[in-house]
Structure 1
Amino acid sequence: MADLKHSSDDVSDDSLGGSSQDSKAEFSEDEETLIERMFNLLGERWSLIAGRIPGRTAEEVEKYWTSRYSTSE
């Protein structure tokens, strides 16, 4: 319930239509830790990693990982 309170603070009037998509893209600290650990074990096997996180797709996990840890050099 506390998460709902924080979500409403972050949502502007202009983004109300896409708020459900934005909130789904957010990962909890536990999910982030699990993704990091699983990546170290499995590498870029996104479907296997996503299978350990209920409600997440391989595409979401890969997008999260590349946005956080991409090497743009």
Structure 2
Amino acid sequence: MDKHLRTKQTKTSPIVASSSSQEVSSIEWEALNMNQEEEDLVCRMHKLVGDRWELSAGRIPGRTAQEIERFWVMKNN
């Protein structure tokens, strides 16, 4: 049998659980109170850098990357 005629078998990669699939408490998902300026900045930063929440949080004093991500998820889902 010719080596070139053999069909390739594709390897299946294991499913990796991401942090977003973990259960969170309802307290963790309470709505964040952001002012309009903060909301605008989050939206502009997301357009520029995407899901790099640490970079966005660095531009908003007093906000963590987790808060920025939670705000984005709650607003856009």
Q: Provide the TM-score with structure 2 as the length reference.
A: 0.59
Q: Summarize deviations over 1:14-69 as a string: whole Å, max 9, x none.
A: xxxxxxxx79x200000000000000000000000000000000000000000001
Structure 2 match to 1:33: 40
> After the TM superposition, which residues 61-72 of structure 1 pair with which residues of structure 2 at under 5 Å, given as runs?
61-70=68-77
TM superposition outliers: structure 1 runs of 4+ over 4 Å: none
Aligned residues: 49
Question: Structure 1: where are the runs of 5+ without partners?
Answer: 1-21
Aligned equivalents of 1:51, 1:26: Cα separation in 2: 18
Aligned equivalents of 1:55, 1:41: Cα separation in 2: 21
Question: Structure 2: where are the runs of 5+ without partners?
Answer: 1-29
Q: Provide the TM-score with structure 1 as the length reference.
A: 0.62
More helix per residue: 1 or 2? 1
Q: CA RMSD in A?
A: 1.9
User: Relative contact order (C-alpha < 8 Å, sep 6+): which is higher?
Assistant: 2
State the identity as a percent. 46
Query: Which structure has the larger Rg?
Result: 2
